[in-house]
Structure 1
Amino acid sequence: MTSGSVFPTRRTLLRTAGVGVAGMPLLAAGRLPRQPASAVPSALLPAPPAFVPPLLDRAKVDRALARLDGFAGDALDRTGLPGLAVAVVYQDEVLYSKGFGVREAGKPGGVTPDTVFQVASVSKPLASTVIAGVVGQQVIAWTDPVVKYNRDFELNDGYVTRNATFADLLSHRSGLQTGAGDLLEDLGFGRDYILSHLHQQPLNAFRSSYHYSNFGYTEGGQAAADAMGSSWEDLADGILFRKLGMASSSYRLADYEKAADRAVLHVPVGDRQWAAKYRRDPDAEAPAGGASSSVRDLAQWLRLQLGNGTYGGEPVIDAAALQTTHVPHSVSGPASAPAARSRFYGLGWNVSYDDEGRVQLGHSGAFNLGAATAVSMLPGEQLAIVCLTNGRPQGIAEAINADFMDTAQNGTPTVDWLPFIAGIFRQQDEADKPEVDYAKVPANPAPAGPNRRYTGTYDNPYYGPLVVFEEGGGLAMRMGPEDRQTTFALTHFDGDTFSFESIGENGNGLAGALFAEPRRGSSPQLTLDFYDRTGLGTFTKGGR
């Protein structure tokens, strides 16, 4: 997920939309229009405050804590979600750490603060903490080009290849488009293969566009590990997890899968019904999405974040290097109106500001195959919350965090957060549906040609070879890495177009396989629309 997980009150939502609380337009978030610089002597302008004084106290936080049990339990009751865990940190103290529900639907094991979840993209702020540790040791700098440490790094523009820095990759401003490399991961390709093929991906504007990219982020983490002469997984263990006693945390799928107290992934299968159907292997994108952890462990990491890199009174991560991760580097959501606020991305953090000028940090994580997580921080208040769930994202983790933060600041929630955020997620699901519904076969489809017209090996420099072959009197195709190939059944749709079931984290139902007869001097081609999102999904038949 790309949206922040510190949600505003209804009042702030109206401001963000450029509408005042009474329905009147706002100027500069409620302030009077600023005079031209020449009209006011700079010496008379007040200096901005070094910090915003805290507005919360323990009594206000306790009031929000008193609501957490009921809200989390109600979230399970209203959605049927199998399980979740929540932890809250305030002023360097873990005030709350609790599990709800079960680790697997239909089985008795309950969720505890020690239950290990796959945290999906909450891996990103964890990773930027690790990389800040490398920066603090002066092995790398945020502004170093990553090609300095990974000579094989290459993108689809020589200038970008030579100049893309750690900060560029970790703030999603390299120009790589959202999803670059993700479909290779779904097919089973490993990290080395995917990173070595990113140069085929088209780029948007370097440093002036924002596109959330898992494998751009992964390249930044891998290059930091290369600089340390380490694997990424060992680097995270040594710089962060062991120092904070995060014994249940890892960037290795194998460690998650061998944990006895482990929450499995679930997807909805009906009204308030969930099933454990899928396994998600995120090792290829480990820095961006491959971490697993418990809320007990993550509470220790939040103490480090709120403590400016110190833990238990001891420095662990250089404060300046860590602070760099907390400030805006990219505009992730430009203001839609003059009085609206823009949203920003730091290095692994969504960054925004509330009505009082306080910085808000957050990040969500989502596996469509069955996990949803969220972390939210108000650093100036020394307050943070993390929620981990074992179900496909529906906004539940974000709603729990938002309700807690809202209650702490306003006494009672100003929004019914669960249906409000669920509506946002439903809109996103609708937007992600394929353009063509291949389940609706034409009433009078044109006939297909003989099977031999389509069978053979088709080549593609990005996805590798694809083989179409006869199976059970029909057609099927096989693609992916040699040791993990996937077979897709092909179902006739219309003429030379067939359908197949898309797979993996990005799967969204039936997709199209469009065969094209050759023109003079060319070879037959096959285009897979699901794999053609950036123009790389056309395969050319060999042998002609």
Structure 2
Amino acid sequence: MRAFHRFALGAVLALAASTTACVSIDTSARDRPPSRPAQTSGLTPDRVAGVPIPDGQIDDAVAQLDDLAQQLLDRTGIPGMAVAVVHGGETVYAKGFGVRAAGSDDPVDVDTVFQLASMSKPVGATVVAQQVGDGTVGWDTPVIEHLPAFALADPYVTEQVTVGDLYAHRSGLPDHAGDELEDLGYDRTQVLERLRLLPLSPFRITYDYTNFGVTAAAQSVADAAGADWADLSRRVLYEPLGMSSTSSRFQDFTERDNRAPGHILVDGQYVAREVRDPDAQSPAGGVSSSVNDMAKWLTMLLADGQFGGRTVVDAKALQPALSPQVVSHAPGTPDARAGFYGYGFNVGTLASGRTSVGHAGAFALGVATAFTAVPSADVAIVTLTNAAPIGVPDTLNAEFVDLVQFGEIREDWAGLYKQAYSGYADPKGALVGQAPPADPARAKPLGDYTGTYGNPYFGPARIDERDGGLLLTIGPREQTYPLTHRDGDVFTFEVTGENAPDGTISTATFTPDTVTFEYWDTDGLGTFTREGTS
């Protein structure tokens, strides 16, 4: 899964604060002004917003959602989406637009189930918070306490890394660590046991967004509770909130009658080509839900863990998740707002001075989602779509939050997010768009390249001679890739999948004893050694 943070959104996210933004930096008690109610609002100074919201302004913002959503649907051509708004402890808006699947007449409604992609992280973080409140674990519990097989490259980090560290993406694991293994067919256990082979950045200093880091933390929590993660999520969160259409198991999504499969854009038309199975990283990207159900979760979130007159998640356990734990986007200028990440949540400051929390999610195979909550206004919006990410849910949420804050839309959010997502579907590889050499050097006899090549991280790769060419076979599912000669000992092959947009090209560069695959060499682990050589 290439989540929302995989590409640079920088200034857009800092402006919107709907997915990555900043909050006030806490100073020491000695330097902090006295915490006393402000004369004008009855709030402590750190809770006073710079721009008041007049009576009726939120209602006016809600009233404009029909037109805003339909305009986005018409302008982009995505098949469908659903939107909900929570305010004052109630769902004040919920509506579906478009169709569940392109070419069908089945409408999206408020109970249509979408895959959430990375919006699963804040949902899962509330499961963890519930367990923290129950005393099963703490945010500061070392992961190995309940997942003793877990290890990273540095023994010190292995011993010290906590559930919170992994939920804040500050373990030092590289960006999207393990995702490429999942694409090759490795299951959760197999991916987690290989994370120890990855190089680490400085511990608790570096922010690099990962799915399997979060998954390792969640697995540790589930093991502490003696439950499967999907079952634990259902028992402690979905059932207490009445989220009957929500699950952290892919099979449940596939068995829903009222579901919206993902769509990708092919030759100008949206088509449902493949449904993403995210079970291996379920805590990070495997939740499926409807806007009706997500509205219940948002109601609980805005009420500090309360729902229906009872405590679902302890407020003291939840607050750290909604607080900045690491800088996720450093400001580029002194007058710019920074971005922060909590435990599974982006936390920020809006242009009006109000704090916000939010997250977005994206599957290249056809999912884009986002939610934004403004606690001081007691309002939150969630938008779910069944199309590959081009900024639709982010745009609608940002426009709505502008209306909530100012009574008008102040930025060209559609243009900003279109630009931010413009490279999301771009193919990867140094040779993309490059013409073959006019006079390439000849390859060696094909038999010189055949054999099995080992790699501790990716596992074995087999090169066979087939139909006058070379064929690469790799991964537990034995995925195959025909190799095309490029120049001398360099061959190429096309890669497709969740993390490889259409048109991605990788080189395969042979030496007498090794082959290096460009696509799998991001972290320097893409060299495979021929078995039987030293």
Q: What's the TM-score once normalised by structure 2's chain length?
A: 0.91
Q: 1:43: Cα distance to partner?
A: 9.8
What residue number does 2:459 align with?
464
| SS of corresponding position for 1:426 | coil
Determine if contact 1:149/1:224 at 8 Å carries over to the other structure. yes
Q: Tell me the secondary structure at the aligned position of residue 304 of structure 2.
A: coil
Instruction: State the match for 2:52 in structure 1.
Output: 55
SS of 1:242 mapped into structure 2: helix
For 2:429, the equivalent position in structure 1 comes to: 434
Aligned to 2:234: 237
CA deviation vs aligned residue, 1:340-389 (integer Å, no higher than 9, x gap): 22110001111111244321111010001110000100011110000000
Confirm or deny that 1:123 pairs with 2:134.
no
**Match of residue 173 from structure 1:** 170
Q: In the superposition, relative to structure 1, how do residues 353 and 314 fare at CA in structure 2: closer, same or farther (>3 Å)?
A: same
Contact 1:128–1:325, Cα closer than 8 Å, also in 2: yes
488, 498, 502: which one pairs with 1:495?
488
1:85-140 deviation line (CA, Å, top 9, x unaligned): 10000011101111111111111111111111111000000000000010000111
SS at match of 1:380: helix
Amino-acid identity (%): 44
1:20 corresponds in structure 2 to none
Separation in 2 of the partners of 1:249 and 1:446?
Answer: 57
Q: Measured at CA, do residues 59 and 260 of structure 1 come closer, stay the same or move farther in structure 2, by a change above 3 Å? A: same
Among 269, 272, 285, which residue is 1:289 paired with? 285
**Match of residue 34 from structure 1:** none
Corresponding residue of 1:485: 478
Structure 2 contact 495–506 (Cα < 8 Å) conserved:
no
Query: How far 1:42 sits from its partner (Å)?
Result: 6.5
RMSD: 2.5
CA distance in 1, matches of 2:198, 2:217: 17
Note if 1:511 corresponds to 2:505: yes
2:333 aligned to which of 330, 337, 343: 337
- How many residues are matched? 510
Instruction: Note the C-alpha offset of 1:71.
Output: 1.2
Find 2:142's aligned residue among 142, 145, 154. 145
Letter in 2 for 1:479: I
Residue 453 of structure 2 aligns to a residue whose secondary structure is strand
The answer on 1:541 being equivalent to 2:530 is yes
Inter-partner Cα distance in structure 1 for 2:16 and 2:195:
40
On the 8 A contact 2:494/2:505 being kept in 1, the answer is: yes
Superposition pairs for residues 116-515 of structure 1, below 5 Å?
Answer: 116-271=113-268, 273-427=269-423, 433-437=428-432, 440-481=435-476, 484-508=477-501, 509-515=503-509
Report the Cα offset of residue 278 of structure 1.
1.6
**SS of structure 2 residue aligned to 1:94:** strand
Of the structure 1 ranges 185-194 and 435-444, higher mean CA displacement relative to structure 2 is found in 435-444
Distance 1:126 1:57, change over 3 A: farther
| Residues 180 and 55 (structure 1), Cα distance of their counterparts in 2 relative to 1, 3 Å cut | same
The aligned residue for residue 529 of structure 1 is 518
Distance 2:98 2:32 in 1: 59
CA contact (8 A) 1:155 1:161 kept: yes
Instruction: Please give the per-residue CA displacement for 1:476-523, whole angstroms capped at 9, x wherever unaligned.
Output: 111111xx22111111122211111113211133333433333xxxxx
Relative to structure 1, the CA distance from residue 160 to residue 274 in structure 2 (aligned partners, 3 Å threshold; closer, same or farther) is same
Deviations 1:296-338 (A, max 9, x none): 1100000010010000111111111111110000000112122
Distance 1:42 1:329, change over 3 A: closer
Matched letter for residue 434 of structure 1: G
1:447 Cα offset (Å): 1.9
User: 1:58 Cα shift?
Assistant: 5.8
2: distance between equivalents of 1:352 and 1:461? 40
Structure 1 residue runs without a partner (length 5+): 16-27, 30-36, 519-523
Give the letter for the 2:410 counterpart: T
Alpha-carbon shift at residue 152 of structure 1 (Å): 0.4
Shift of 1:429: 5.1
Q: Residues 2, 208 of structure 1: CA spacing in aligned structure 2 closer, same or farther, 3 A cutoff?
A: farther
